[in-house]
Amino acid sequence: MFSCKEKIQPPDNNQNSKIESNISVVSTIAGKYLSKIEYLNSPIGLVADKEGNMYVADENAKTIRKISPDGKISLFAGSNSGEGGFRNGKGDQALFQSVQNLAIDAHGNILVVDMSNSMIRKIDPYGNVTTLAGNGKLAVVDGPAANASFYFPRGIAINSRGEIYISDNSSMIRKIDLNGNVTTVAGAMQSGYRDGQAGAALFNLPFSLVFDRSDNLYISDRQNQRIRVMNSNGQVSTLAGSGNIGNANGQGIAASFFSPAGIALDAAGNLFVAETGNHLIRKITPTGLVSTFGGTGVKGNTNGLLKIASFSNPQALCFDNNGILYIAEYGNHSIRKVSANGEVEYFYGDVSPTEGAGLSVYFNHPDGIVVDKHGNVYVADMDNNMIRKITTSGLVSTIAGAATAGYRDGLANLARFSSPMGLSINQNEEIFVADKNNSVIRKISASGTVSTVTFQRPVVGMQYPNAVYADKIGSLYYSDLESNHIFKIKTNGEAVMLTSMWGVSGNGSFWLKPSAIQMDGKGQLYVVDNGNHTICRSIDDGLNFLAIAGKRGYGNFSVSGNTNGPGETATFNRPKGMAIDAAGNIYIADSENHLIRKLSATGIVTTIAGSGVAGYADGVAVSAKFNKPSGLALNADGTILYVTDQDNHLVRKIVLGN
């Protein structure tokens, strides 16, 4: 497969001089905005202090958040902008690169595994961040803490003596002793599975660690699909897990797991396991009996009794001083807890998709968007696995799908999707959906019935469809993220692959993550080539394509940037969505530049909305802010452009000037 190298072009500092002069205005029509502090992007580590405050490691946000017992969240350490790097300092002056598991010592210091910096960091109760161990070099070197090296550390735990143990991607368990020296206590620079004395034992991605009261160390051996234990004498054994992927309960090695991650012990010595692959919480008794504590095994966000509750990639667990279990869910961007009466409820981050007034509901990475002839807007709410409708009066409802991913045709309220992305609507008001993770194209009839589009599959099968377009004669076009191909489904059900590249011989490029397909009023087909930062057009129904906007650099490699001007010199950065008006103007969601651009019918690229800085702000279009805009759709008369503002989890509209 062709790999497109990318030459990064410096930002166009004169961009504002080339911004479209007509005044356009941006507003939000649906979605409840959460600031970067309020929104948990990817909670992966969790620990509680004596006062009941929860500390959360947010991996992708590169921050440590603090949540008070009454649910108020604040930034404890790390940059609010999401900036990554390495810097010690107080609170928001400090920088992390990839925070993972957390631990708390007897003095209330929070210890942070900063994986990509290969360091262990310490935050005192006042928010001062220092480096506890690691020189930042990616290696396995023992010695004094400041000189020692780690290899992508992951887990952390503190024993009764105050010694700190760390799991490392080198498949080793390391220790920081009370004198500040780092040693290797178990495992080897070799992934595998073997019990025995610590120095001879083998692990495969040991992830989370926890000590019991007797200083036995429990280890979630993630790639081995096992729970291991190292006793105080350094003997490693397997507590549970056969090594096969599964969800079988039973005694010890008769049980099976799928990617066990966070672990925590209750006061009775029962070990609880956050199982990311099965979306379950498992329980292991001191005698090694494994059972399912909570979850259905189906990804979701249902609260209630443990046996009917559903989770989405649970990553970390901890108990507070009252014995309440808290769960950090990577997929649901939330912290949930199991109440004393055995029910699952939200502690923080309830962004469940409800219905109601537009600005009161939550979306979760909205993607595709279309508008019907009445002005109603339809949105593929990707990570909620739903198709949502926004009426002209601003009310949001779910027309098909549910928060729990699945695959089912039938009445819309019973149908299930799995990460729906691109949408298209035809003149009969049938909506077509690129149902990415189900590897199918779905159709929602005007009467509300969901069906799967059937056709003669091409030699290259459908894997991850991400964009779909229905033309006026009934043909469908779709792109596939995995194969990097574009296909046409003819009205007779035959599917054909369009050309696998664009450009003239010797001066073109293979498609790289094509992300949008549209057709203009003349029947010309357009494709946004996301990975090559270009907009392409075909005049012969897909037999040949030419780039009409986006710059090629030295060696014919793609150039990313945000330069305006003639199409052949203009630059984009991961353009995603596209909409075409009756005059032939093309609107482009320039995702990584956080801009909305316009390619005029005469071939000139301008910026019509966005400041070029990720954020959230409504108002005059060139001062507005977006965060990775994705899908675009125009209303019937071309005066309003709708935008799915993906990482702000909002639907925006731009009233176009003139």
Tokens 């161990």, residue? 133
**Cα–Cα distance for residue pair 279/295, rounded to 1 Å:** 7
Measured distance CA(495)–CA(218) in Å, rounded: 53
Residue 336 corresponds to which tokens in the numbers above? 């949930």
**What per-residue confidence (pLDDT) applies to 554?**
60
pTM above 0.85, yes or no: no
Q: What is the mean pLDDT of residues 454-471?
A: 87
**What confidence tens digit (pLDDT) does each residue in 491-543 have?**
999 988 888 777 654 456 789 999 999 999 999 999 999 999 999 999 787 78
Instruction: Give how far Cα 255 sits from Cα of 222, 244, 283, 440, Å.
Output: 14, 9, 11, 34
pLDDT at 551: 87
| Range from 295-309, 498-512, 520-534, 591-605 carrying the lowest mean pLDDT | 498-512
CB 354 within 8 A of CB 364: no
Is the per-residue pLDDT at 480 higher than 60? Answer: yes
129-175 pLDDT, tens per residue? 999 999 999 999 999 999 999 999 999 999 999 999 999 999 999 99
Q: Are 548 and 535 in contact (CB under 8 A)?
A: yes
Phi then psi for residue 382, to 5 deg, are -55, -55
pLDDT number for residue 6: 36
Average pLDDT, the chain: 93
The CATH code that applies to domain 366-655 is: 2.120.10.30
Q: Which residue has the tokens 């992927």?
A: 245
Collapse the DSSP code of 336 into the 3-class scheme (helix H, G, I; strand E, B; otherwise coil) and give the result.
strand
Q: Give the containing element (helix H, strand E) for 128.
A: strand 128-133
Token look-up 């692990």 returns: 203
Spatial CA neighbour of 87 closest among 76, 75, 97: 97
Where in the chain are the domains?
32-348, 366-655
Confidence of residue 95 (pLDDT cuts 50, 70, 90): very high
Q: Does the domain formed by 32-348 have CATH 2.120.10.30?
A: yes
Cα–Cα distance between 416 and 530 in angstroms, integer? 28
DSSP string for residues in 530-587: GGGTEEEEESSTTS--EEEE--B-GGG-EEE----EETTT--BSSEEEEEE-TTS-EE
Q: Give the distance, in angstroms, between the CA of residue 218 and the centroid of all CA atoms in the same chain.
A: 29
Whether 32-348 shares its CATH topology with 366-655 is answered yes
Q: CA 143, CA 130: separation in Å to the nearest integer?
A: 19
Amino acid code (one letter) for 517:
I
The terminus-to-terminus CA distance of the chain in angstroms comes to 45
For residue range 556-570, what is the model confidence (pLDDT) as tens digits?
577 899 999 999 999
β-strand 119-123 against 164-168: which pairing, if any? Answer: unpaired
Least confident span in 200-204, 371-375, 499-503: 499-503
Is-contact 581 634, C-beta < 8 A?
A: yes
Percentage of the chain modeled with pLDDT above 70: 95
CA 431 to chain CA mean position, Å:
26
What are the angstrom distances between the C-alpha of 398 and each of 111, 378, 403?
43, 9, 10
